[in-house]
Amino acid sequence: MESQINSGDTAFILISAALVMLMTIPGLALFYSGLVRRKNVLGTIMQSFILVGLITIQWVLVGYSLSFGPDRMGLIGGFEWFGLSGVGLDPNPDYAATIPHQAFMIYQAMFAIITPCLIAGAFAERMKFSAFIIFSLLWATIVYDPLAHWVWGVGGWMRTMGALDFAGGTVVHISSGISALAAAIVMGKRIGYMRDPMPPHNMTLVVIGAALLWFGWFGFNAGSALSSGGLATSAFVVTHIAAAAASITWTFVEWMRHGKPTILGAASGAVAGLVAITPAAGFVGPISAILIGISVGIVCFIAVVILKNKLGYDDSLDAFGVHGVGGTLGALATGLFASKAINPAGADGLFFGNPGQLGIQVLATVVTAVFSFVATLIILKVIDLVIGIRVQEEDEIMGLDLSQHNETGYTF
Amino acid sequence: MKKIEAIIKPFKLDEVKDALSQIGIKGNTVTEVKGFGRQKGHTELYRGAEYVVDFLPKIKLEVVVTDDMVEKVIQTIVNTARTGRIGDGKIFVTNVDDVVRIRTGERGEDAI
């Protein structure tokens, strides 16, 4: 068995795992914390940081087994791999034949970590830390692990059906983005929303965070090839193209509509492009990537700048507007642009003569969205009944840094 | 003795400071302040959410001088800080009863 391990592939996946961790801390942590008011900077960073710890342990104990363990009726993995029992250094050819099983496991752990962190953008600046921890652990176990099994696990029903999701468009972005919408609705608006100014307190942090997300995303998407050859290169290239196209699209749409191009627009567009290309990378070519980037730049701009204000929910940092909307667009676009010429193990999409693929993508998207929304709603309602999910009014006005952690981000 | 307090545009600070030292003003105190007058504020736009910022950053420059220097200092500040556009700032002049140099105990004009 030892001889099957390819050192190039193993090195690439371990580095990719580290890159995906970089997306969460400090990438996402900085991106989100710059967007909030200064009194919540540490509370926001803490939400990402603590989940690196918590979800890692959850993943090692039960999460990995539930997600990738031996299949139960296409719905969930069994407990056979509890505590990584049997998950050793020999390859598991079901998932990746040329790297140690533990390399695959730790790479997937980083995906499990970042996904609940993304949701936090919806309820930023007002969730109780204790409730956040319970919610994230329950969400990872009840929502993420089954979804990962459906889409990626051997025997998972979406995988068997032929749904294409290269790097987590459904599992990571639709699930977290739709859950974010549910969370924003259950949580309610921040005190003073639409009345008091709530501009980002540090745009430079936002830009550093977005740049680290872009950088780490190469590990996220190219690494999902699980080997370091042509497929990884193709995924890497289209990932970069889509981010570039979406970034300039958002910026120019904003420039035309509001008269000024903003760095927040350029950063938001880049993230939207990365979200949309996530399921499609590894299945689509460069021109498709440009089209996906342009369309997600326009659609997410509309969702964040126009739709949110019309509908009135307080998705504070646009987790739904970027990840939910962008992820949905990406999953559907995969059904349009996928091509066997890029990846023979994939499928052709509608534009390459296979309209059936779009139907499969629609089904996978709708089921993921409904499941995530309902499950998140129930989890949050139950936690709210038991311990309450929202901080006291006084604590919200004082800020999470002081009220939840007894610290302040800036001392001058 | 008079205290001259000038609220000026931040980018004019170096020019004003150099001009004052050329006419023999040996020290002054500078503070970063925020405020608004006729210039009003500006709007900021983040992901489509518009915020009106009322208070604009300005520099407050304080200098205490003997009575015979007052007009010269005022003219120097006006000449160097003026851009001709709205928001150039204001100068306030007030009486100063006494000045003490802490190191030596000198009083009055000797301490300036």
- Across the interface, whether the CB atoms of B48 and A268 are under 8 A apart is answered no
C-beta atoms of A305 and B51 within 8 A: no
Give residue A160's pLDDT: 96
CB A67 within 8 Å of CB A94: no
Work out the angle at residue A42's Cα, subtended by the Cα atoms of residues A16 and A206, and round it to the nearest 5 degrees.
55
pLDDT, position A1: 46
Mean pLDDT calculated for residue range A100-113: 98
Residue with tokens 């056979």: A80
- Res A3: pLDDT: 54
pTM summary value: 0.88
Per the prediction, chain A carries an average pLDDT of 96
Determine the average pLDDT of the residues in A225-252. Answer: 98
For A54, other C-beta atoms within 10 Å of its C-beta total 16
Contact B49/A262, CB-based, under 8 Å? no
> Which among A197, A258, A264 is the nearest to B51, CB-wise?
A197
pLDDT interval class at A382 (50, 70, 90): very high
pLDDT, tens digit, 9 for 90 and up, residues B75-109: 999 999 999 999 999 999 999 999 999 999 999 99
Percentage helix, strand, coil, to 5, in chain A? 70, 0, 25
Q: Token digits for A314?
A: 């307080």
Three-state SS annotation for A91-146: CECCCECCCCHHHHHHHHHHHHHHHHHHHCCCCCCCECHHHHHHHHHHHHHHHHHH
Amino acid at A104: F
Residues of A in contact with B45 (CB under 8 A): 258, 260, 262
Interaxial angle between packed helices A7-22 and A101-119, expressed in degrees from 0 to 180 and rounded to the nearest 10: 20
A216 pLDDT more than 90 = yes
Q: Is A157 exposed, middle or buried (0-12, 13-18, 19+ CB in 10 A)?
A: middle
Instruction: Find the CB nearest A304 among B45, B48, B53.
Output: B48
Sheet holding B2-8, edge to edge: B29-35, B56-65, B2-8, B90-95
In chain B, residues 46-85 whose CB comes closer than 8 Å to chain A: 46-49, 51-53
Q: What is the mean pLDDT of residues A308-333?
A: 96
pLDDT tens readout for residues A28-65 = 999 999 999 999 999 999 999 999 999 999 999 999 99
Please, where are the H alpha helices in A175-202?
Answer: 175-187
Pairwise CA distance, residues A13 & A18, whole Å: 9
Other C-beta atoms lying within 10 Å of the C-beta of residue B86: 9
- pLDDT tens readout for residues A147-206: 999 999 999 999 999 999 999 999 999 999 999 999 999 999 999 998 888 999 999 999
pLDDT of the residue at A134? 98
Tell me: the pLDDT tens digits for A56-73? 999 999 999 999 999 999
What is the ipTM for the molecules in this complex?
Answer: 0.74
Relative to beta strand B42-46, strand B90-95 is: unpaired
Residue range A212-219: mean pLDDT, rounded: 98
Task: Output the CA angle A147-A153-A156, nearest 5 degrees.
Answer: 70
- H or E, element range at A220: helix A203-222
Residues in chain B within 8 Å Cβ distance of A268? 47
Higher model confidence: residue A309 or residue A109? Answer: A109
Q: Which domains does chain A have, with CATH numbers?
A: 2-405 (1.10.3430.10)
Cβ distance of B51 and A200 shorter than 8 Å: no
What average pLDDT does the segment A283-299 reach? Answer: 98
8 Å CB contact between B20 and B13: no
Place of tokens 């800080």: B81
Which residues share a beta bridge with B107?
B100
Q: Are B47 and A264 in contact (CB under 8 A)?
A: yes
Cis peptide before A26 (omega within 30 of 0): yes
pLDDT of the residue at A320:
97
**For residue A86, is pLDDT > 50?**
yes
> What is the distance of C-alpha A396 from the center of its chain?
27
Give phi and psi for B49, each to the nearest 5.
-90, 125
Q: How many CA atoms lie within 13 A of B103 on its CB side?
A: 3
Give the C-alpha separation, A334 to A349, whole Å: 7
More confident of the two residues A363 and B45: A363
Strand ranges for B21-86 from DSSP E: 29-35, 42-46, 49-53, 56-65
Each residue's pLDDT tens digit, B29-41 = 999 999 988 877 7
- A197 vs B: CB within 8 A: yes
Long-range residue pairs from A261-265, CB within 8 A, at least 24 positions apart, any chain: A262/B45, A262/B46, A263/A203, A263/A206, A263/A207, A264/A200, A264/A203, A264/A206, A264/B46, A264/B47, A265/A301, A265/B47
